[in-house]
Amino acid sequence: MNTLEAVKALKNGEEYAFKFLFDKYYNRLVAYITTYTHDKMSAEDIVQQAFIDLWNNKKKINENKPLKSYLYAIAYNRFIDTVNKDKRQNIVLGQIYELALRDIIDEDNEALEKRILKMNQIIKTLPPKCRQTLEMNKIKGYKYHEIAEIMGVSIKTVESQMSVAFKKIRKGFDKENLHLLFINFYKKINIRQTKNSNLSF
């Protein structure tokens, strides 16, 4: 089977054709995207998603144009989407952190202490892996791809664990309308941990 035959079969929904193209281009695409991400695990996630896009849009493939160029374009666009997503998240987190700081300034120490204690209690109820992922990111400052490498999991798994933690914390503070103020609490905890061993996770 050649690439053109595989493309025609793929457009008809033949899974063997998809496997043929996956085996042929996967490693090349990972190497290509790694030149941008400088992280193989992240590149693998992006390329895998690119192949999912290929399957989902198989009917739209133009048989008269090189599939290789089409695949590389999909993978690159997926990489750009990831970069833009990270930028949006950083902007949102920055805004939340700024609002958190403004609110904390107006709070008295006793109220803040109670909220930190509550935060501590919520985090202790998280599943072990979820709690470990949250601590590595928010306390130790590791990036998602670094956590994935250390824990031996995919970046998607790290994102899933963080999502579980966010939902649990938001639910715990919903009535007080605190949302994601835990970002600032972690910074407070880092300072307090050097003075007070009671704040441990």
The pTM (predicted TM-score) of the whole model is: 0.44
Signed CA dihedral, 162, 168, 174, 176: sign only: negative
Indicate the domain borders of the chain.
3-81, 108-193
* pLDDT tens digits, one per residue of 44-70: 888 988 898 888 888 888 888 888 888
Beta carbons within 8 Å of 197's beta carbon, 6+ residues apart:
none
Can 3-81 and 108-193 be said to share one CATH topology? no
At 182 the pLDDT is: 45
Report the topology of domain 3-81: Rna Polymerase Sigma Factor; Chain: A (1.10.1740)
* pLDDT tens digits, one per residue of 110-159: 565 666 677 778 888 888 888 888 888 877 778 889 899 899 999 889 98
Domain 108-193 matching CATH 3.10.450.40: the answer reads no
CA angle 58, 63, 66 (to 5 degrees): 100
* pLDDT tens digits, one per residue of 76-116: 888 888 777 666 655 555 555 555 555 544 555 556 566 66
